[in-house]
Structure 1
Amino acid sequence: MNTQQISKTIKTMALCSVIVLTSCNQKKETVDTTKETEKTDNVLMAEWTGPYGGTPAFDKMNLEDLKPALEKGMEMNLKEIDDIANNPEAPTFENTIVAMERSGEELGRVFTYYGILSSNMSSPEFREIQKEMAPKLSEFQSKISQNTKLFQRIKTVYDHAQKEPLEADQQRVVQLTYEGFAMNGAELDDEKKKRYAAINKELSELYPNFSNNILADEEGYVTYLTKDQLSGLSDPLVKAYAKAATDRGQDGKYAVTNTRSSMDPFLTYSNERELRKKVWENYYSRGDNGDDKDNNANIAKILKLRKERVGLLGHDNFADWRLQNRMAKTPENAMKLMNAVWPAAIGRVKEEVADMQAVANASGDKITIEPWDYRYYAEKVRKKKYDLDSDEVKQYLQLDKLREAMFFVAGELFNYTFTPVEEGKVPVFHEDVKVWEVTDKTSGDHIGLWYLDPFARTGKRSGAWATTYRSHTTFDGKETVLASNNSNFVKPAPGEPVLVSWDDATTFFHEFGHALHFFASEVRYPTLNGGVRDYTEFQSQLLERWLSTDQVIDNYLKHYKTGEPMPKALVEKIKKAATFNQGFATTEYLASALMDMKFHLADPTDIDVDKFERETLKELNMPKELVMRHRTPHFGHVFSGEGYATAYYGYMWADVLTSDAAEAFAEAPGGFYDKEVAAKLVKYLFAPRNAMDPAEAYRKFRGRDANIEALMRDRGFPVTKS
């Protein structure tokens, strides 16, 4: 999963106080003779120094500096806003919009460290600071978004641009800035503004509380195994579990931690059914244990506050407000897509369960398939139907080789070269983090740095995500990119390779797609590095397709012991099984996406969150043999902030584009490495970021709009011609 970066413009900087798991984009100090930079000794605010245009001083990052840095950064930023709002000159693009683009340098740097401390290096001490600062950051946001003089200047520039259009990218910046302020209450009267700000402040406290409750349950629930409970588990996995136990002071035992990367392989391979049930229950009950970390009350409050807030703006529900500037435009359009796929998905689940039950019966296992059995028996069906053993496939999926494969793909499509940066040359926040320099293969020009933080650890939130510490812009001189990919692979025992599943390898490529989207940026203004939520997953989902290309399989998927390439027979089995288990994959995702939308379309008055989840899934005919990918009490995408609220459907919306674009490559003379199609891909779908309307950008690439038929073909579902 991708957390998208927030632009450093004031319009969106404000959101950083709400979306606490995301750090703001950082833009290096620019040359501006009209601005006097206030000196500070706080390292978190200081201009970045060193090679590559300067990099974050992660080696000097100190938690004690965080609170004063945030407070001073907000103070400095508000002074800049005051200067813009009270400029006696008539509002222009330069003295209003560009001035806003240029402001917030110091606070932006602080938010880079804040994001690392929140997502990668959280601690009880940090969470206390986060709890204290969340309402202050919300108030800071409101002072900007509700600044009447500032908004009047923005509106004047916007109105003038409607009559006398600016350059295309300037016009886009003005539009996005104006709409962002208008959507966030800039036009409300004073009384409503006051209530709007109060709601945001309350939400700013609920969001980190929600995410910290999840993190606490992930850290607090560990299943320890003894040697006689390892039946079915591979040797590398056993060693990884042993290391996880040792790291927790439990030598001689084996620890299945409460994260997806640890849980998933255990549920797939363990022969111990009762232990599978225990691990499953631990994972899917995060935030739902009836204790002080229970999130159900948080969710009810969040839903009520969101509805009240958008009601102040004249909207019936949160979904109507949220989707107005997305590709889907309305919740009805999003629901139409999901409802078109849902029947085929649950229909396929019925077939998959029947196959699994048959295998269980034939094996003499006197059980009825339950959710903690799904992965286990699906693996047996895979072996029976396709003679395909996932554990055998893993022997060819070494993390280091997959990284090399991603670099190869980036070189072929984007003309990039990745070169390791000498250890110690660039500061990192943990010894596991490695850094590569990205350059243009032809010119040798420096593009940026790529940071990789691959392993799970205490204090690191679960999942996988991409982020930037600095984004490309050119309006004040060229800024190069500092991008990071973050994963939660189980760290292996010393000297052992990291072997991952095909699904994890796909996710690794997915998140790298976000990084390539950052590196490919050709925008002038920081705001344009943002994105439209139901479009920004498209680029990363598309990059997943290169994992299964012959060039990657033949050259990078090699046995971790022998070094032999993956046998052709095994490759054929993988390709034949490409749509295997799509019922499970699509249904668990769609259930979460539908639940997200239905929660925000419902009346939240006196809502019983647990009951609503149960009854809604029953109405949807949700198969009892599996659960939502993200059950509501730990649905961090939606309730740890607002980035994916009523937007989780966006993965499927983007996948319609992905499937259609993949067919463009498949049909090209050079296949997935066709130079002409790749050039169009970079030019129209990666480089513009949000400088161009996504629908227009896709039409420029494909020559037409995408349709759902390619998606249905991809998943092996029946295709009905539209």
Structure 2
Amino acid sequence: MNPLLQDFNTAPFSKISNTDYKPAIKKGIEIARAEIDALINNTDAPTFENTTVALDFTGEKLNRITSIFFNLNSAETNEEIQKIAQEVSPWLSEFSNDITLNEDLFKRVKHVFDAKESLDLTPEQQMLLDKQYKSFARNGANLSDTDKTELRKVDAELSKLSLKFGENILAETNAFEMHLTDEKDVSGLPESVKEAAKEVAKSKEKDGWVFTLDYPSYIPFMTYADNRELRKKLAIAAGKKGFQQNEFNNEQIVLDIVNLRHKRANILGYKTHAHFVLEERMAETPEKVISFSNDLLAKAKPAAQREFTNLENYAKKLDGIDKLQKWDGSYYSEKLKKELFSLDQELLKPYFQLENVIDGVFEIANKLFDLQFEEIDSIDKYHEDVKTYSVTDAKGNFVSHFYADFHPRKGKRNGAWMTSYKSQQIKNGINERPQVSIVCNFTKPTETKPSLLTFNEVTTLFHEFGHALHGMLANTTYNSLSGTSVSWDFVELPSQVLENWCFEKEALELFAKHYETGETIPMEYVQKIKESASFHEGMQTLRQLSFGLLDMQWHGSESPQTITSVKEFETSAFAETKLYPDAEENCMSTAFSHIFQGGYSAGYYSYKWAEVLDADAFEYFLEEGIFNKEVATKFKENVLSKGGTEKPMELYKRFRGKEPKPDALLRRAGLI
């Protein structure tokens, strides 16, 4: 029996074999088709219940199966799974089109939508109906048959290209290693970094040290290694992922994706892909995004240029470096930061043992939102590294299952993300609770040391956990509006706001304890963490804006077919935000997974957009106290539990009492 086709509550990972996926997905599509047919063939007149609600509950089996499959394709993949993904993605995109392009189904949806004024709907029901109608209209339901056929072709092609893009990046990441055997080549590196690199070497049956393009290996090397040539070697290797003349080259894939997205937008009656995407975001139009970005750029650029000149002068004074290059940035920044604030990442790491940070984030969630986390071994996991928890509220009611997967391995893509295996919904009077997961890539424990996090990794854990809270505390009726199913430039608010607690004395005292002595982090360190929070904020802001503007250039172009060179196009897009000299063998776009593989196309600006929201929101906590129950409850009830049931700005104003202004962000960043 195929375990994916049985009834299960939590994913039956240990029972699944790769051969189960294709038949399960095929069967899942069949079941979902039958549900849709039953809905269409209902002889009763279309109503909100028998059409809108019924449609929202279709495809549950398929969703459960595909969430397991695609989550593993990111966190625990192999060649076989990748091959299956290439095969099933076109099936799923075709099935999705079969729904949105189904005329009989659309007629029923439209019938209810046209009658909505007379239906006396709650705001949530209204939102479900609007969202459903738009998902048809915005995906081709009103098109001619010829255009519908064309749209299907475009969608099938896009789903394969973005998968291929990601596979190429993973292959390039796995293919590179820098094997060092001479002690002087690892000069400057902290003992913990050398020890981790030694263990990687040992796992590959080599002497010395091995460094890879995985973040826990790459970032410390770029930050601490004294050997400039080796930093250059590693930086160039990272920067040319997908940009080498080999089978993993992504240049044509980038151009194809951009052109197909543009074509898709045109078929649907939009000027560009950015116009299509932004219609359903808080930002609404590309013009608004560009004006928002340029406004921040104007404020950040003078500061960024000052910071860069200071850094360049510092590197010259220290080591006679004439021209600061990209592979010098982290190295000299870290040295300068240490000099200015006497703050060394390595000095902080002993206070951030992974287990303590996890306990800390749990305790903060408890103080703010009354959540309890208990580690359990009663549910299946897909890898022994994964930790599983049962989450309950103050009254002992079950809230969510929570999976956490913290360390890099071969089948796992770089970076950090939150995902879910089951969304919350209320069905047949039962509040079905969610199953949420976070995936990160933190340094593994070694023979002599536990996993000790850099401060950046601590903020990453808090960030992903903020997303997880958004999923766990979901309390809506319909799963398509539940949890993180919100407009994309609002989804980063819960994650980014939680990062703020990492900088506060009251919060740090809960978990920042030395892994050997148990001593709480000294207050002078906390003070320095706070003071240094806006260090090089101008350069950071410029970097973030450069990625957002590159994304908007790719997706806001009205004639992408005229773009022939990815590199030249990118260079021109970066002109206004450029600080470092260009490395001609490197290209960002060919490895820009957020926009070419993830869901951030025409949406990368949302990190900065959400920073405006998060700085404004956290100022409220600071005014009333960072563990103030009243403010936390307002945030929980108006933001975290509401999902996408109302317009984000309405929810935000209900929490905050007013619209956000960028001033809080500029103050926090030290830019005003």
What is the TM-score when the length of structure 2 is the normalising length?
0.96
Secondary structure of 1:673's partner?
Answer: coil
Query: Are 1:128 and 2:88 matched, yes or no?
Result: no
Partner of 2:424: 472
Q: What amino acid sits opposite 1:486 in the alignment? A: V
Alpha carbons 1:374, 1:626 under 8 Å: kept: no
| Aligned pair partner of 1:148 in 98, 103, 106 | 103
| Aligned pair partner of 1:329 in 279, 284, 301 | 284
Distance 1:177 1:445 in 2: 32
Partner of 1:407: 362
Alpha carbons 2:305, 2:539 under 8 Å: kept: no
Aligned length: 665
Q: What amino acid sits opposite 1:392 in the alignment? A: L
Q: What amino acid sits opposite 1:445 in the alignment? A: N
Q: What amino acid sits opposite 1:87 in the alignment? A: N
Query: Are 1:523 and 2:476 matched, yes or no?
Result: yes
Partner of 1:595: 550
Partner of 2:192: 236
* Shift of residue 160, structure 1, vs aligned partner: 1.0
Partner of 2:519: 564
Task: Specify whether residues 364 and 56 from structure 1 end up closer, same or farther in structure 2 by C-alpha distance, changes over 3 A only.
Answer: closer
Distance 1:535 1:382 in 2: 32
Distance 1:255 1:196 in 2: 47
Secondary structure of 1:140's partner?
Answer: helix
Secondary structure of 2:90's partner?
Answer: helix
Partner of 1:44: 4
Q: What amino acid sits opposite 1:673 in the alignment? A: F
Partner of 2:60: 105
Partner of 1:612: 569
Moved more, 273-282 or 154-163: 154-163
Distance 2:91 2:110 in 1: 27
| Aligned pair partner of 2:660 in 706, 715, 720 | 706
Kindly provide the CA deviation profile for residues 515-552 of structure 1, in whole angstroms up to 9, marking residues without a partner as x: 11111111011111111000010111001111122222
Aligned residues: CA RMSD: 1.7
| Aligned pair partner of 1:635 in 592, 596, 612 | 592
Task: Specify whether residues 61 and 494 from structure 1 end up closer, same or farther in structure 2 by C-alpha distance, changes over 3 A only.
Answer: farther
Kindly provide the CA deviation profile for residues 117-165 of structure 1, in whole angstroms up to 9, marking residues without a partner as x: 2111111111111112222222111111100100111111111113433
Query: Are 1:689 and 2:643 matched, yes or no?
Result: yes
Query: Are 1:650 and 2:601 matched, yes or no?
Result: no
Partner of 2:27: 72
* Shift of residue 489, structure 1, vs aligned partner: 1.2
* Shift of residue 558, structure 1, vs aligned partner: 1.6
| Aligned pair partner of 1:665 in 618, 621, 626 | 621
Partner of 1:546: 501
Partner of 1:348: 303
Kindly provide the CA deviation profile for residues 412-433 of structure 1, in whole angstroms up to 9, marking residues without a partner as x: 1110011111x3x211000000
Alpha carbons 2:64, 2:422 under 8 Å: kept: no
Distance 1:564 1:713 in 2: 33
| Aligned pair partner of 1:680 in 634, 641, 650 | 634
Secondary structure of 1:156's partner?
Answer: helix
Alpha carbons 1:485, 1:511 under 8 Å: kept: yes
Distance 1:45 1:494 in 2: 42
| Aligned pair partner of 1:573 in 520, 528, 541 | 528
Secondary structure of 1:478's partner?
Answer: strand
Q: What amino acid sits opposite 1:703 in the alignment? A: G
Distance 2:351 2:579 in 1: 33
Alpha carbons 1:346, 1:623 under 8 Å: kept: no
Alpha carbons 1:327, 1:534 under 8 Å: kept: yes
Alpha carbons 1:45, 1:109 under 8 Å: kept: no
What is the TM-score when the length of structure 1 is the normalising length?
0.90
Partner of 1:500: 453
Moved more, 154-163 or 588-597: 154-163
Distance 1:416 1:276 in 2: 44
Secondary structure of 1:704's partner?
Answer: coil
Alpha carbons 2:505, 2:523 under 8 Å: kept: no
Q: Map 1:52-451; keep pairs closer than 5 Å.
A: 54-228=9-183, 229-250=185-206, 252-421=207-376, 423=377, 425-441=378-394, 443-451=395-403
Kindly provide the CA deviation profile for residues 55-84 of structure 1, in whole angstroms up to 9, marking residues without a partner as x: 110111210111111111111211211121
Alpha carbons 1:236, 1:492 under 8 Å: kept: no
Q: What amino acid sits opposite 1:657 in the alignment? A: L
* Shift of residue 625, structure 1, vs aligned partner: 5.3
Q: What amino acid sits opposite 1:242 in the alignment? A: K
Alpha carbons 1:656, 1:711 under 8 Å: kept: yes
Task: Specify whether residues 110 and 657 from structure 1 end up closer, same or farther in structure 2 by C-alpha distance, changes over 3 A only.
Answer: same
Q: What amino acid sits opposite 1:221 in the alignment? A: F
Task: Specify whether residues 154 and 143 from structure 1 end up closer, same or farther in structure 2 by C-alpha distance, changes over 3 A only.
Answer: same
Gaps of at least 5 residues in structure 1 are 1-40, 49-53
Alpha carbons 1:359, 1:380 under 8 Å: kept: no
Gaps of at least 5 residues in structure 2 are none
Alpha carbons 2:388, 2:404 under 8 Å: kept: yes
* Shift of residue 356, structure 1, vs aligned partner: 2.2
* Shift of residue 495, structure 1, vs aligned partner: 4.8
Secondary structure of 1:181's partner?
Answer: helix
* Shift of residue 648, structure 1, vs aligned partner: 0.7
Distance 2:319 2:30 in 1: 70
Secondary structure of 1:103's partner?
Answer: coil
Partner of 2:406: 454
Secondary structure of 1:521's partner?
Answer: coil
Distance 1:164 1:426 in 2: 43
Alpha carbons 2:567, 2:587 under 8 Å: kept: no
Task: Specify whether residues 708 and 390 from structure 1 end up closer, same or farther in structure 2 by C-alpha distance, changes over 3 A only.
Answer: same
Distance 1:108 1:379 in 2: 45
